[in-house]
């Protein structure tokens, strides 16, 4: 198969991955760079791509400052305690002080946001959440991105970033292939804003067959944000901070509206409240600073989500499962029943399918909850991602190197899952981060920082060979066997994904081992990941669709390696309920009240780990 | 299986192929109709179901935990700005839901930023984004700073 090379040159701002973060970047970039060339490269179709493809029923990050509801610093306090103290407060504060303008713009564009009939304000689901009819959230946001971009390239799987050859550690664009035509695409650009996704499917899922598609985070969130940036040598932070979700069993339907708006609650298989009885023991593990139920009760300071997970997991392990969500009371109210259902139809239709198929009507029966397999991402209630600069007026020197949301690679910016240290951004915060990155990227270009970039034909050709190698490999060895997928010369992407998930599950704290790991296990994981990397050179793709899966797997593998390195580095159990270091079962604030930062040397593949100081901008009030 | 396609309804138009976020709706070369090539990478997101002009695509819950005999059907009407759902249980129970999907005609109220007045130098030098400080504060004052919030930076600790 001949793969035509298509070059898009002289780009000022290349957006890689146009979910909520990338779309925010493309949209805002046009204002600050009205004559600049803005191009989007997206793996799917931007009308339905990214984590919000299916829709959302809530916007989980809205301050309501104009109504006197919350100030940005209140949100920093909330996200900080939820993440057990470790976040980038400068980035969080910055996102929170801008996010309301994003949400109000969404309403101006036509997104139906529910209103409180008494006050006329947005209808609150919880302190930070507002309720929307968000079936078309993504098409509306995509429309905005399309209005700003010069060109949108749908169905381009971006595999690598291009690097400048005249100045070290400066980005020069990206390359990838079209998943329909098989053409090779080269994007030469002064800046790149990485809006690619976090990682589903790097840990073995609970489901065993078809249902493994019903991941909590979208199956197309293929860790490309991390695969692209780690591979290019960007520093990463808090990659160990994977998240485990307590959700409705099997369908992974969301619980936020149920807890906050419908006031449903959980109980064990005997019909008892179970959470609080685990807290005294847990307090010994994490310290009173992080778990103080009395103070939480008095001040509405939330109990960290991971600790509530820990109680759920412990109760099930004690033999008192299943855990139920008590819906039977709330669902007697027809309005609340409608909210409960529309919540699923708006963002997790699979849960409605599951209840219909199993005859579960939450009006008559309390549905089961469970904890999911782990996910690695940076926009929901966790904060893995690249180590980025903050804004000039807020960030301390260690957090500031010239341009807001720029990674440690010059000209490479991030938004959404790509940026580390900013949990609880969700959809609106990710879009806002994209806007912030876009303004900074325009400034970077206007300052002349993107001039005289050199990309040699050699670099372009080398990547081309690398990208299409799995197709060649298949062609070469396919006829060594009669038929089928068992071949001594290669593995296919599904076989590779199964191997990755199994080893991450068993050695890096997945669901089948109760989220438990330790130094010995993690070192075995690294060894197996290294061997797997060799085998990924023998990955075979029988068609372009499998080539897409092959590159998703390579990105997932690289992200998994980085997660394992970070988990090994942090010798404590900071987030019980997300994972446990069996050889260091306590929170160790004396040594680990820090952010972990890694860098993989692209030349050698060696990781350097360091501790970065955790600055507190906001007091504890 | 997540999504599947009814043989007699599909005309092979490819709308589902065009929209699927997971790249798993493909046209079968023999039958010239669409099908789901990789059910275990299907999120049941319904993007293809909503996009199908023939209503030819449906969902059968994941075989490893969902029994047969149910259906969740949908009609998304862009002109009316609504989405209608019909849920049928295995035991025959039915539930209907109707929600808005937009409050305004598509795309008409999103400005073209290439055509609005461009930013001044003052705006460029500030921390403000497009259209700000609108919507940010009750008094339409400036952007929140650490000083406004009465906050000072506390030194980070390396340990």
- DSSP collapsed to 3 states, A512-537: HHCCEECHHHHHHHHHHHHHHHHHHC
Tens of pLDDT, residues A470-480:
999 999 999 99
Residue A403's Cβ-count burial label (10 Å; 0-12, 13-18, 19+) is buried
On the question of pLDDT at A36 being above 90, the answer is: yes
Mean pLDDT of chain B: 93
Is there a contact between A545 and B26 if contact means CB atoms under 8 Å apart?
Answer: yes
Considering only alpha carbons, which residue of chain A is nearest residue B121?
Answer: A32
Tens of pLDDT, residues A581-615:
999 999 999 999 999 999 999 999 999 999 999 99
Which pLDDT score, from 0 to 100, does residue B147 have?
A: 86
Most B CBs within 10 A among A31, A59, A107, A396, hence the mutation to make, goes to A31
Residue A186 lies in a domain: no
Residue A53 lies in a domain: no
Residue B158 lies in a domain: no
Mean pLDDT for A555-564 is 98
Is there a contact between B46 and A54 if contact means CB atoms under 8 Å apart?
Answer: yes
> SS3 of A31, please?
helix
Residue A164 lies in a domain: no
Most A CBs within 10 A among B29, B129, B146, hence the mutation to make, goes to B129
On the question of pLDDT at B158 being above 80, the answer is: no
> SS3 of A122, please?
strand
Tens of pLDDT, residues A406-460:
999 999 999 999 999 999 999 999 999 999 999 999 999 999 999 999 999 999 9
Which pLDDT score, from 0 to 100, does residue A574 have?
A: 98
Give residue A529's domain range. Answer: 457-588
Q: Does residue A361 sit in the same domain as residue A482?
A: no
> SS3 of A538, please?
coil
Most B CBs within 10 A among A213, A440, A442, A551, hence the mutation to make, goes to A213
Q: Does residue B55 sit in the same domain as residue B124?
A: no
Residue B53 lies in a domain: yes
Q: Does residue B50 sit in the same domain as residue B117?
A: no
Which pLDDT score, from 0 to 100, does residue A63 have?
A: 97
Q: Does residue B73 sit in the same domain as residue B122?
A: no
Which pLDDT score, from 0 to 100, does residue B146 have?
A: 86
C-alpha distance from A143 to closest chain B C-alpha (Å): 6
Considering only alpha carbons, which residue of chain B is nearest residue A27?
Answer: B113
Residue B106 lies in a domain: no
Q: Does residue A465 sit in the same domain as residue A354?
A: no
User: How big is the A-B interface in CB pairs under 8 Å?
Assistant: 290
Asked if B61 reaches chain A (Cβ–Cβ under 8 Å), the answer is yes
Residue A505 lies in a domain: yes
Residues in chain B with CB shorter than 8 Å from the CB of A43 are 23
In angstroms and rounded to an integer, the radius of gyration of the C-alpha atoms of chain A is 23
Confidence of residue A469 (pLDDT cuts 50, 70, 90): very high
Selecting from B65, B74, B104 the residue whose C-beta is nearest the C-beta of A110 gives B104
Is there a contact between A101 and B129 if contact means CB atoms under 8 Å apart?
Answer: yes
Which pLDDT score, from 0 to 100, does residue A295 have?
A: 85
Distance CA A196, CA A417 (A): 7
Selecting from A48, A103, A133 the residue whose C-beta is nearest the C-beta of B100 gives A133
Which pLDDT score, from 0 to 100, does residue A10 have?
A: 98
Is there a contact between B91 and A108 if contact means CB atoms under 8 Å apart?
Answer: no
Residue A350 near residue A214 (C-beta atoms within 8 A): yes
Which CA distances in Å does A435 have to A26, A58, A195, A271, A396?
8, 21, 11, 47, 22
Q: Does residue B120 sit in the same domain as residue B96?
A: no
Asked if B77 reaches chain A (Cβ–Cβ under 8 Å), the answer is no
Distance CA B23, CA A45 (A): 10
Q: Rounded to 5 degrees, what are φ and ψ at A339?
A: -60, -45
Which pLDDT score, from 0 to 100, does residue B157 have?
A: 65
Which pLDDT score, from 0 to 100, does residue A167 have?
A: 97
- pTM of the model as a whole: 0.97
Mean pLDDT for B124-134 is 95
Distance CA A388, CA A437 (A): 10
Q: Does residue B90 sit in the same domain as residue B115?
A: no
Residues in chain B with CB shorter than 8 Å from the CB of A215 are 43
Most B CBs within 10 A among A137, A221, A356, hence the mutation to make, goes to A356
Asked if B117 reaches chain A (Cβ–Cβ under 8 Å), the answer is no
Distance CA A278, CA A281 (A): 6
Give residue B141's domain range. Answer: 111-150
Domain count within chain B: 2
Tens of pLDDT, residues A43-86:
999 999 999 999 999 999 999 999 999 999 999 999 999 999 99
Residues in chain B with CB shorter than 8 Å from the CB of A257 are none
C-alpha distance from B6 to closest chain A C-alpha (Å): 18
Confidence of residue A194 (pLDDT cuts 50, 70, 90): very high
Provide the percentage of residues in chain A whose pLDDT is more than 70: 100
Q: Rounded to 5 degrees, what are φ and ψ at A184?
A: -90, 125
Which pLDDT score, from 0 to 100, does residue A2 have?
A: 83
CATH number for the domain that contains residue B42: 3.30.70.20
Please, which residues have CB within 8 angstroms of residue A342's CB and are 6 or more apart in sequence?
A57, A133, B97, B99
Is there a contact between B151 and A357 if contact means CB atoms under 8 Å apart?
Answer: no
Tokens of A147: 């209005």
Selecting from A104, A107, A342 the residue whose C-beta is nearest the C-beta of B99 gives A342
Is there a contact between A354 and B116 if contact means CB atoms under 8 Å apart?
Answer: no
The ipTM value here is 0.96
Which pLDDT score, from 0 to 100, does residue A620 have?
A: 79
Residues 5-24 of B with CB under 8 A from A: 18-23
Distance CA A60, CA A343 (A): 13
Selecting from A98, A398, A594 the residue whose C-beta is nearest the C-beta of B132 gives A98
Which CA distances in Å does A139 have to A149, A172, B81?
15, 30, 13
Considering only alpha carbons, which residue of chain B is nearest residue A342?
Answer: B97
Q: Does residue B46 sit in the same domain as residue B117?
A: no
Distance CA A346, CA A108 (A): 20
Selecting from B62, B93, B99 the residue whose C-beta is nearest the C-beta of A210 gives B62
Is there a contact between B116 and A100 if contact means CB atoms under 8 Å apart?
Answer: no
End-to-end CA, chain B? 52
Q: Does residue B146 sit in the same domain as residue B122?
A: yes
C-alpha distance from B27 to closest chain A C-alpha (Å): 12
Residues in chain A with CB shorter than 8 Å from the CB of B73 are none
The verdict on whether B106 is a catalytic residue reads: no
On the question of pLDDT at B116 being above 90, the answer is: yes
Residue A215 lies in a domain: no
On the question of pLDDT at A1 being above 60, the answer is: no
CATH number for the domain that contains residue A472: 1.20.58.100
Q: Does residue B18 sit in the same domain as residue B90?
A: yes
In angstroms and rounded to an integer, the radius of gyration of the C-alpha atoms of chain B is 25
Overall size of chain A counted in residues: 621
On the question of pLDDT at B17 being above 70, the answer is: yes
Which pLDDT score, from 0 to 100, does residue A111 have?
A: 98
Residue A557 lies in a domain: yes
On the question of pLDDT at A263 being above 60, the answer is: yes
Domain count within chain A: 2
Tens of pLDDT, residues B86-100:
999 999 999 999 999
Mean pLDDT of chain A: 96
Tens of pLDDT, residues A106-151:
999 999 999 999 999 999 999 999 999 999 999 999 999 999 999 9
Handedness of CA A277, A280, A281, A286 (dihedral sign): positive
Q: Does residue B82 sit in the same domain as residue B21?
A: yes
Residue B126 lies in a domain: yes
Q: Does residue B65 sit in the same domain as residue B29?
A: yes
Residue A155 lies in a domain: no
Which pLDDT score, from 0 to 100, does residue A508 have?
A: 98
- Residue A522, preceding peptide bond in cis (omega within 30° of 0): no
CATH number for the domain that contains residue A321: 3.90.700.10
Selecting from A207, A220, A394 the residue whose C-beta is nearest the C-beta of B64 gives A207
Please, which residues have CB within 8 angstroms of residue B3's CB and are 6 or more apart in sequence?
B25, B36, B39, B42, B44, B48, B49, B57, B58, B59
Q: Does residue B95 sit in the same domain as residue B131?
A: no
Q: Does residue B83 sit in the same domain as residue B118?
A: no
Provide the percentage of residues in chain A whose pLDDT is more than 90: 96
Mean pLDDT for A268-272 is 97
Q: Identify the residue whose tokens are 């103070």.
A: A295
Mean pLDDT for A485-506 is 98
Residue A508 near residue A577 (C-beta atoms within 8 A): no
């Amino acid at each position: 198969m001949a793969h035509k090379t298509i070059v898009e040159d002289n780009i000022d701002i290349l957006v890689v991955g146009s979910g909520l973060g990338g779309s925010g970047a493309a949209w805002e970039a046009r204002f600050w760079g009205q004559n600049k060339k803005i191009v989007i490269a997206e793996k799917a179709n931007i009308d339905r791509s990214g984590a919000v493809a299916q829709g959302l029923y809530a916007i989980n990050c809205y301050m309501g400052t104009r109504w006197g509801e919350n100030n940005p610093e209140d949100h920093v306090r909330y996200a900080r305690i939820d993440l057990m103290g470790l976040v980038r407060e400068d980035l969080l504060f910055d996102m929170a002080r801008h996010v309301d303008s994003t949400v109000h713009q969404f309403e101006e564009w036509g997104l139906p946001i529910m209103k409180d009939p008494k006050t006329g304000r947005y209808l609150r689901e919880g302190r930070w959440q507002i309720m929307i009819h968000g079936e078309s959230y993504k098409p509306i946001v995509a429309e905005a991105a399309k209005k700003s971009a010069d060109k949108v390239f749908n169905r381009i799987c971006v595999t690598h970033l291009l690097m400048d050859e005249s100045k070290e550690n400066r980005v020069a664009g990206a390359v990838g292939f079209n998943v329909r035509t098989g053409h090779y695409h080269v994007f030469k650009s002064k800046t790149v804003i990485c809006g690619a996704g976090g990682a589903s499917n790097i840990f073995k899922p609970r489901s065993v067959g078809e249902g493994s598609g019903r991941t909590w985070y979208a199956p197309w969130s293929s860790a490309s944000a991390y695969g692209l940036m780690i591979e290019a040598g960007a520093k990463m932070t808090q990659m160990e901070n994977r998240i485990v979700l307590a959700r409705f069993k099997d369908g992974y339907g969301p619980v936020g509206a149920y807890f906050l708006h419908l006031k449903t609650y959980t109980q064990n298989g005997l019909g008892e409240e179970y959470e609080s009885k685990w807290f005294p023991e847990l307090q010994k593990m994490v310290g009173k600073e992080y778990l103080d139920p009395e103070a939480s009760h008095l001040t509405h300071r939330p109990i960290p989500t991971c600790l509530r997970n820990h109680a759920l997991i412990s109760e099930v392990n004690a033999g008192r499962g299943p855990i139920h969500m008590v819906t039977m009371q709330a669902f007697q109210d027809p309005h609340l029943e409608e909210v409960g259902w529309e919540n699923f139809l708006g963002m997790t239709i699979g849960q409605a399918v599951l209840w219909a198929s199993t005859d579960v009507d939450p009006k008559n029966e309390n549905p089961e909850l469970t904890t999911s397999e782990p996910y690695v991402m940076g926009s929901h209630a966790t904060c893995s991602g690249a180590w980025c600069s903050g804004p000039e007026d807020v960030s301390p020197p260690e957090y500031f190197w010239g341009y807001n949301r720029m990674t440690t690679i010059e000209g490479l910016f991030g938004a959404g899952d790509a940026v580390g240290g900013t949990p609880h951004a969700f959809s609106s915060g990710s879009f806002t981060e994209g806007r912030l990155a876009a303004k900074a990227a325009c400034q970077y270009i206007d300052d002349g920082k993107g001039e005289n970039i050199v990309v040699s034909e050699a670099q372009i050709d080398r990547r081309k060979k690398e990208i299409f190698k799995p197709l060649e490999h298949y062609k070469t060895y396919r006829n060594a066997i009669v038929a089928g997928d068992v071949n001594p010369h290669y593995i296919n992407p599904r076989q590779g994904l199964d191997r990755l998930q199994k080893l991450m599950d068993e050695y890096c704290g997945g669901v089948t081992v109760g989220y438990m790991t330790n130094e010995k296990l993690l070192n075995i994981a690294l060894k197996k990941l290294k061997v797997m990397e060799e085998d990924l050179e023998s990955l075979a793709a029988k068609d372009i669709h499998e080539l897409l899966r092959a590159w998703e797997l390579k990105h997932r593998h690289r992200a998994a390696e980085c997660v394992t390195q970070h988990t090994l580095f942090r010798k404590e159990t900071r987030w019980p309920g997300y994972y446990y270091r069996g050889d260091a079962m306590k929170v160790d604030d004396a040594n680990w009240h820090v952010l972990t930062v890694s860098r993989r040397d692209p030349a050698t593949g060696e990781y350097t780990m360091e501790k970065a100081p955790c600055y507190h901008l906001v007091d504890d009030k | 299986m997540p999504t599947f396609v009814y043989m007699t309804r599909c005309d092979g138009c490819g709308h589902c192929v065009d929209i699927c976020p997971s790249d798993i709706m493909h046209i079968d070369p023999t039958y010239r109709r669409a099908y789901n090539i990789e059910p275990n990478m299907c999120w049941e997101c319904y993007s293809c179901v909503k996009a199908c002009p023939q209503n030819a695509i449906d969902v059968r819950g994941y075989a490893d935990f969902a029994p047969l005999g149910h259906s969740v059907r949908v009609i998304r009407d862009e002109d009316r700005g609504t989405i209608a759902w019909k849920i049928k249980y295995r035991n025959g129970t039915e539930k209907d839901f109707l929600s808005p999907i937009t409050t305004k005609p598509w795309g008409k109220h999103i400005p073209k930023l290439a055509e609005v007045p461009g930013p001044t130098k003052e705006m460029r030098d500030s921390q403000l984004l497009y259209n700000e400080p609108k919507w940010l504060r009750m008094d339409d004052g400036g952007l929140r700073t650490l000083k406004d919030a009465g906050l000072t930076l506390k030194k980070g600790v390396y340990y």
